[in-house]
Amino acid sequence: MSIPTHVAVILDGNGRWAAQRGQARIKGHKAGVRAVEAILDEASDLGIQHLSLYAFSTENWKRPAFEVTALMALLRMYLRMFVPKLLAKGTRFHHLGSVEGLPAGVVSDLHWLEAKTAHGTGMTFHLAVNYGSRLEIAQAAARCVADGLRPDQVDEAALQARLWTAGVPDVDLLIRTSGEHRISNFLLWQAAYAELHLTDILWPDFGPAQLREALADFGARERRFGGL
Ligand code: IPE
Ligand code: IPE
Ligand code: MG
Protein backbone atom coordinates (compact mmCIF):
# COMPACT_ATOMS: atom_id res chain seq x y z
CA MET A 1 0.00 0.00 0.00
CA SER A 2 1.35 3.43 -0.84
CA ILE A 3 1.31 5.60 2.25
CA PRO A 4 0.67 9.32 1.78
CA THR A 5 2.87 11.64 3.84
CA HIS A 6 0.04 13.96 4.84
CA VAL A 7 -3.55 12.85 5.30
CA ALA A 8 -6.21 15.42 6.19
CA VAL A 9 -9.73 14.56 7.28
CA ILE A 10 -12.90 16.64 7.40
CA LEU A 11 -14.66 14.57 10.00
CA ASP A 12 -18.33 15.16 9.43
CA GLY A 13 -21.62 13.51 10.30
CA ASN A 14 -21.53 13.25 14.10
CA GLY A 15 -24.88 15.01 14.44
CA ARG A 16 -26.58 12.82 11.83
CA TRP A 17 -25.12 9.70 13.42
CA ALA A 18 -26.75 10.65 16.73
CA ALA A 19 -30.03 11.68 15.07
CA GLN A 20 -30.27 8.27 13.38
CA ARG A 21 -30.23 6.77 16.87
CA GLY A 22 -32.67 9.26 18.38
CA GLN A 23 -29.85 10.68 20.50
CA ALA A 24 -28.68 14.21 21.25
CA ARG A 25 -26.01 15.61 18.88
CA ILE A 26 -23.42 15.63 21.64
CA LYS A 27 -23.61 11.83 21.82
CA GLY A 28 -22.53 11.84 18.19
CA HIS A 29 -19.58 14.07 19.06
CA LYS A 30 -18.57 11.68 21.83
CA ALA A 31 -18.73 8.75 19.42
CA GLY A 32 -16.73 10.91 17.00
CA VAL A 33 -13.92 11.31 19.50
CA ARG A 34 -13.71 7.55 19.96
CA ALA A 35 -13.33 7.26 16.18
CA VAL A 36 -10.51 9.83 16.33
CA GLU A 37 -8.73 7.70 18.91
CA ALA A 38 -8.84 4.60 16.69
CA ILE A 39 -7.72 6.55 13.61
CA LEU A 40 -4.79 8.07 15.50
CA ASP A 41 -3.54 4.59 16.32
CA GLU A 42 -4.04 3.21 12.83
CA ALA A 43 -2.49 6.21 11.07
CA SER A 44 0.58 6.09 13.25
CA ASP A 45 0.91 2.30 12.85
CA LEU A 46 0.64 2.69 9.06
CA GLY A 47 3.50 5.19 9.05
CA ILE A 48 1.57 8.30 8.04
CA GLN A 49 3.76 11.25 9.02
CA HIS A 50 1.17 14.02 9.24
CA LEU A 51 -2.48 13.59 10.13
CA SER A 52 -4.67 16.71 10.15
CA LEU A 53 -8.17 16.47 11.61
CA TYR A 54 -10.78 19.21 11.30
CA ALA A 55 -12.54 19.40 14.64
CA PHE A 56 -13.94 22.95 14.81
CA SER A 57 -14.05 25.57 12.09
CA THR A 58 -14.12 29.37 12.35
CA GLU A 59 -17.68 29.02 11.01
CA ASN A 60 -18.77 26.53 13.68
CA TRP A 61 -19.24 29.43 16.14
CA LYS A 62 -22.57 29.92 14.35
CA ARG A 63 -23.90 26.82 16.09
CA PRO A 64 -26.11 27.11 19.19
CA ALA A 65 -24.11 28.19 22.25
CA PHE A 66 -24.86 24.98 24.13
CA GLU A 67 -23.38 22.85 21.35
CA VAL A 68 -20.26 25.04 21.15
CA THR A 69 -19.82 24.88 24.93
CA ALA A 70 -20.29 21.12 24.94
CA LEU A 71 -17.77 20.70 22.10
CA MET A 72 -15.16 22.79 23.93
CA ALA A 73 -15.69 20.79 27.14
CA LEU A 74 -15.39 17.50 25.22
CA LEU A 75 -12.23 18.72 23.56
CA ARG A 76 -10.58 19.53 26.88
CA MET A 77 -11.58 16.22 28.41
CA TYR A 78 -10.33 14.12 25.52
CA LEU A 79 -7.12 16.04 24.93
CA ARG A 80 -6.11 14.98 28.44
CA MET A 81 -7.24 11.41 27.87
CA PHE A 82 -5.19 11.16 24.68
CA VAL A 83 -1.91 11.98 26.42
CA PRO A 84 -0.74 8.45 27.37
CA LYS A 85 -1.52 7.21 23.86
CA LEU A 86 0.29 10.09 22.16
CA LEU A 87 3.34 9.65 24.37
CA ALA A 88 3.39 5.87 23.89
CA LYS A 89 3.38 6.27 20.10
CA GLY A 90 5.78 9.22 20.05
CA THR A 91 3.09 11.31 18.35
CA ARG A 92 3.57 15.07 18.35
CA PHE A 93 0.52 17.23 18.84
CA HIS A 94 0.06 20.50 16.96
CA HIS A 95 -2.85 22.92 17.12
CA LEU A 96 -3.88 24.30 13.75
CA GLY A 97 -5.95 27.42 14.00
CA SER A 98 -6.38 30.73 15.76
CA VAL A 99 -6.33 31.01 19.53
CA GLU A 100 -8.40 34.19 19.31
CA GLY A 101 -11.92 33.64 20.55
CA LEU A 102 -11.15 30.24 22.08
CA PRO A 103 -11.81 29.87 25.83
CA ALA A 104 -8.59 30.41 27.82
CA GLY A 105 -8.77 26.87 29.26
CA VAL A 106 -8.84 25.35 25.77
CA VAL A 107 -5.87 27.46 24.65
CA SER A 108 -3.81 26.47 27.67
CA ASP A 109 -4.67 22.78 27.15
CA LEU A 110 -3.69 22.93 23.47
CA HIS A 111 -0.36 24.58 24.31
CA TRP A 112 0.24 22.21 27.22
CA LEU A 113 -0.28 19.19 24.96
CA GLU A 114 2.03 20.65 22.29
CA ALA A 115 4.77 21.11 24.88
CA LYS A 116 4.19 17.71 26.45
CA THR A 117 4.52 15.85 23.13
CA ALA A 118 7.15 18.10 21.50
CA HIS A 119 9.90 15.47 21.69
CA GLY A 120 7.94 12.77 19.87
CA THR A 121 9.65 11.38 16.80
CA GLY A 122 6.64 9.67 15.23
CA MET A 123 3.59 11.08 13.48
CA THR A 124 2.47 14.68 13.90
CA PHE A 125 -1.19 15.02 14.79
CA HIS A 126 -2.51 18.42 13.69
CA LEU A 127 -5.84 19.19 15.29
CA ALA A 128 -7.72 22.01 13.58
CA VAL A 129 -9.65 23.91 16.23
CA ASN A 130 -10.98 27.38 15.41
CA TYR A 131 -9.45 26.80 11.98
CA GLY A 132 -10.39 28.63 8.81
CA SER A 133 -8.25 28.58 5.70
CA ARG A 134 -9.17 32.10 4.60
CA LEU A 135 -8.27 33.49 8.02
CA GLU A 136 -4.97 31.58 7.90
CA ILE A 137 -4.05 32.99 4.49
CA ALA A 138 -5.16 36.52 5.42
CA GLN A 139 -3.03 36.36 8.57
CA ALA A 140 -0.05 35.09 6.58
CA ALA A 141 -0.42 38.10 4.26
CA ALA A 142 -0.62 40.42 7.28
CA ARG A 143 2.58 38.86 8.64
CA CYS A 144 4.35 39.53 5.36
CA VAL A 145 3.51 43.21 5.85
CA ALA A 146 4.47 43.15 9.54
CA ASP A 147 7.80 41.51 8.60
CA GLY A 148 8.49 44.43 6.27
CA LEU A 149 8.52 42.43 3.01
CA ARG A 150 8.52 44.40 -0.23
CA PRO A 151 5.81 43.48 -2.77
CA ASP A 152 8.35 41.62 -4.92
CA GLN A 153 9.28 39.50 -1.88
CA VAL A 154 5.71 38.34 -1.30
CA ASP A 155 5.74 35.09 -3.23
CA GLU A 156 4.35 31.60 -2.63
CA ALA A 157 7.26 30.61 -0.41
CA ALA A 158 6.89 33.77 1.72
CA LEU A 159 3.20 33.09 2.30
CA GLN A 160 3.68 29.38 2.86
CA ALA A 161 6.29 30.06 5.53
CA ARG A 162 3.74 32.17 7.42
CA LEU A 163 0.83 29.74 7.39
CA TRP A 164 0.00 27.80 10.56
CA THR A 165 1.30 24.75 8.68
CA ALA A 166 4.74 26.28 8.01
CA GLY A 167 7.22 23.48 7.45
CA VAL A 168 4.50 20.83 7.03
CA PRO A 169 4.34 19.09 3.63
CA ASP A 170 1.26 19.66 1.45
CA VAL A 171 -1.79 17.44 1.90
CA ASP A 172 -1.60 14.30 -0.25
CA LEU A 173 -4.99 12.83 0.59
CA LEU A 174 -8.07 14.73 1.77
CA ILE A 175 -10.88 12.60 3.17
CA ARG A 176 -14.41 13.83 3.87
CA THR A 177 -17.02 11.69 5.52
CA SER A 178 -20.84 11.90 5.64
CA GLY A 179 -21.52 12.24 1.92
CA GLU A 180 -20.85 15.97 1.67
CA HIS A 181 -18.81 17.03 -1.35
CA ARG A 182 -17.26 20.29 -0.17
CA ILE A 183 -14.09 21.62 1.44
CA SER A 184 -15.69 23.90 4.07
CA ASN A 185 -12.66 26.22 4.33
CA PHE A 186 -10.15 23.49 5.25
CA LEU A 187 -6.50 23.68 4.10
CA LEU A 188 -7.35 25.43 0.82
CA TRP A 189 -3.71 26.30 0.16
CA GLN A 190 -2.19 23.06 1.42
CA ALA A 191 -4.63 20.77 -0.40
CA ALA A 192 -4.17 22.45 -3.79
CA TYR A 193 -3.08 19.12 -5.31
CA ALA A 194 -4.55 16.70 -2.78
CA GLU A 195 -6.36 13.60 -3.95
CA LEU A 196 -9.95 13.58 -2.66
CA HIS A 197 -11.62 10.63 -1.03
CA LEU A 198 -15.31 11.23 -0.35
CA THR A 199 -17.31 8.66 1.54
CA ASP A 200 -20.92 8.41 2.73
CA ILE A 201 -19.82 6.86 6.03
CA LEU A 202 -20.63 9.09 9.01
CA TRP A 203 -17.54 10.00 11.03
CA PRO A 204 -18.32 7.88 14.14
CA ASP A 205 -18.46 4.83 11.85
CA PHE A 206 -15.15 5.64 10.14
CA GLY A 207 -12.66 3.12 11.50
CA PRO A 208 -9.26 1.65 10.61
CA ALA A 209 -10.79 -0.42 7.80
CA GLN A 210 -12.22 2.72 6.19
CA LEU A 211 -8.86 4.49 6.51
CA ARG A 212 -7.13 1.59 4.76
CA GLU A 213 -9.79 1.72 2.05
CA ALA A 214 -9.08 5.43 1.52
CA LEU A 215 -5.35 4.70 1.27
CA ALA A 216 -6.00 1.96 -1.29
CA ASP A 217 -8.09 4.44 -3.28
CA PHE A 218 -5.22 6.96 -3.04
CA GLY A 219 -2.71 4.31 -4.15
CA ALA A 220 -4.68 3.74 -7.35
CA ARG A 221 -4.57 7.41 -8.38
CA GLU A 222 -2.21 8.87 -10.91
CA ARG A 223 -0.97 12.24 -9.66
CA ARG A 224 0.22 14.62 -12.34
CA PHE A 225 0.56 18.02 -10.61
CA GLY A 226 -0.21 19.74 -13.86
CA GLY A 227 2.42 17.84 -15.83
CA LEU A 228 1.99 14.99 -18.29
C1 IPE B 1 -18.74 17.09 12.58
O2 IPE B 1 -20.03 16.66 12.81
C3 IPE B 1 -18.10 17.66 13.81
C4 IPE B 1 -18.07 19.12 13.85
C5 IPE B 1 -18.22 19.93 12.85
C6 IPE B 1 -17.84 19.72 15.16
P7 IPE B 1 -21.29 17.62 12.64
O8 IPE B 1 -21.63 18.18 13.98
O9 IPE B 1 -21.05 18.62 11.59
O10 IPE B 1 -22.38 16.59 12.21
P11 IPE B 1 -23.55 16.79 11.14
O12 IPE B 1 -22.93 17.32 9.89
O13 IPE B 1 -24.50 17.76 11.75
O14 IPE B 1 -24.13 15.44 10.96
C1 IPE C 1 -16.79 21.02 8.55
O2 IPE C 1 -17.98 20.46 8.97
C3 IPE C 1 -16.03 21.51 9.75
C4 IPE C 1 -15.51 20.45 10.61
C5 IPE C 1 -15.52 19.18 10.33
C6 IPE C 1 -14.95 20.91 11.83
P7 IPE C 1 -19.33 21.32 8.99
O8 IPE C 1 -20.42 20.37 9.36
O9 IPE C 1 -19.17 22.50 9.85
O10 IPE C 1 -19.39 21.80 7.48
P11 IPE C 1 -20.60 22.31 6.60
O12 IPE C 1 -21.28 23.41 7.37
O13 IPE C 1 -21.52 21.15 6.39
O14 IPE C 1 -19.96 22.77 5.33
MG1 MG D 1 -21.46 18.74 9.59
Q: Does the model's pTM come out above 0.95?
A: yes
CA distance 103 to 72: 8
Mean pLDDT of 67-71: 98
By the CB criterion, residues less than 5 angstroms from ion ligand 3 are: 12
Nearest CA residue ID for atom 13, ligand 1: 15
Q: Which ligand is nearest to the CA of 29?
A: 1
The three-point CA angle 186-191-197 to 5° equals: 85
Which residues form the domain of 119? Answer: 6-132+171-219
- Ligand 1: atom nearest CA of 180 is 12
Ligand 1 pocket check for 204: Cβ under 6 Å: no
Does residue 165 lie in a domain region?
no
**Ligand 3 midpoint to CA 91 (Å):** 27
Does residue 138 lie in a domain region?
no
Residue from 78, 59, 64, 74 nearest 26 by CA:
74
Instruction: State pLDDT tens for residues 155-213.
Output: 999 999 999 999 999 999 999 999 999 999 999 999 999 999 999 999 999 999 999 99
3-class SS shares of the chain: helix, strand, coil, % to 5: 45, 15, 40
Residue from 90, 93, 4, 91 nearest 46 by CA:
4
Residue from 53, 19, 49 nearest 39 by CA:
53
Does residue 141 lie in a domain region?
no
Q: How many structural domains is the chain composed of?
A: 1
Does residue 125 lie in a domain region?
yes
Instruction: State pLDDT tens for residues 13-66.
Output: 999 999 999 999 999 999 999 999 999 999 999 999 999 999 999 999 999 999
Does residue 56 lie in a domain region?
yes
Residue type, 102: L
Residue from 105, 107, 89, 87 nearest 97 by CA:
107
Does residue 166 lie in a domain region?
no
Which is the catalytic residue, given 41, 60, 170, 205?
60
Ligand 2 pocket test, candidate residues 57, 62, 63, 188, most atoms within 8 A of CB: 57
- Asked whether the CA dihedral 114, 119, 120, 123 is positive or negative, the reply is positive
Does residue 107 lie in a domain region?
yes
Ligand 1 pocket check for 27: Cβ under 6 Å: no
Residue 179 sits in a domain whose CATH number is 3.40.1180.10
Does residue 82 lie in a domain region?
yes
| Residues contacting residue 94 through CB under 8 Å, at least 6 positions apart | 114, 124, 125, 126, 127
Residue from 186, 168, 210, 174 nearest 56 by CA:
186
